[in-house]
Structures are given as structure tokens and as C-alpha cells.
Amino acid sequence: MNHNDLLEKIRDRMPTKRFEHTKGVATTAIHLAEKYGEDKDKAEIAGILHDVVKFADREWLKQNILSEQLDPMLLTFHHELWHGPVGSIVAKKEFFIEDEDILQSIRFHTTGRADMSNLEKIIYISDMIEPSRSFPGIEVLREKAEIDLEDAMISCVTHSIKFLIEKKQPVYPDSFHCYNDLLKRKEK
């Protein structure tokens, strides 16, 4: 499917601001894929579809988690985490995406996980640093993304975990597993 057609198909699924964010993630993902020798086409598709169900009805998301037998622990965490795993199912069923790396990139773009592929890291980072994002420390994250993918990923997941802890929000275990895995790999 043509990427412009893909963008048009998701436009009505989200508010204009989120659609602009989505385009920013796709553009950032293409840039990082090129920089780190990954497939730009796959990066763009994952970037376009990463938030495909972010604004779906909460009950519908819940029912998909149950019917698709996704990790039931998701339901004990904030509903903001649900759109990644359910989005990967929608990408496969509605948009006929078969590439597992793209699907995993969509699935784990909010939490990260241990043993992430470079494409998964690129989508996670792109979601955090795309041009419309603005928060204290983002420029440092953007700079790191231009220098070293692993260091940028460690910094991004650390930022996410700290943010949740400061807000007194629970942290999904995959985020801790991601952080620990990245540090262990860096030590080697």
C-alpha cells in the first residue's frame, strides 16, 4: 500500500494534532532508519501505524485485549498502554501488515521490552522526539538520537520511567525489562 494512502486511511481515526504527531514520527523514523542502516519503508509504515487505535473506544480496546489473548496484565495498567498491543493486531488484520518487526515496533512503542530490534528502538525514540514534541530535556534526547541509537534508547526509556515515577504512576514491567536489557548489553 502506498504510504500516502495509508496516511489517508488513518486520518479520520485521530484528532488533527495526533495526525501531525503521526506524520512527525514517520518522518523521524525514516531519518533514523537511514542513519542506522535500517529499512526506511518499514520505519515509515510503523511510524504511520503506531497510534492507529490510540483514540479507539476504551471498552473496544479492552475487548480486543481479551479476545486476542494479549497479556491480561495490560488491563491492570493505565489504558494509555493498550493502544500499542491492540494497534499491532489492527495493523495486521485491517492493513495487512505481515512483517513481524513492524508489528512488534507498533506493539511495544509505549513500553519498550527486552531484546528490542533496531526498528523497535527507532519507533520508540521517534515517538518521543518527533518535531512537535516539547518537554524539558527533549533537545538532549534529540542530540543523542543523532549520535548513538543505544544511548538514545537508554536515555528515552529512562526519561519515561522517571516521568511515571515522578507522577506516582505504575510502570509496566516491560519498561523495566527494556531498561535492564539495554544496560546489560552496553556492559558487554
The pLDDT of residue 1 is above 80: no
What's the pTM value of the predicted model, to 2 decimals?
0.96
**Residue 153 structural domain:** 3-187
3-state SS assignment for residue 137: coil
- 54 CB contacts (<8 Å, ≥6 apart)? 14, 18, 83, 87
CATH number at residue 53: 1.10.3210.10
CB 49 within 8 A of CB 83: no
Over residues 60-79, the pLDDT tens digits come to 999 999 999 999 999 999 99
Say how many domains are in the chain: 1
pLDDT of residue 186: 87
187 falls in which pLDDT band (50, 70, 90)?
Answer: confident
Q: What is the pLDDT of residues 96-111, one digit of tens each?
A: 999 999 999 999 999 9
Taking residue 136's Cβ as centre, other Cβ atoms within 10 Å add up to: 7
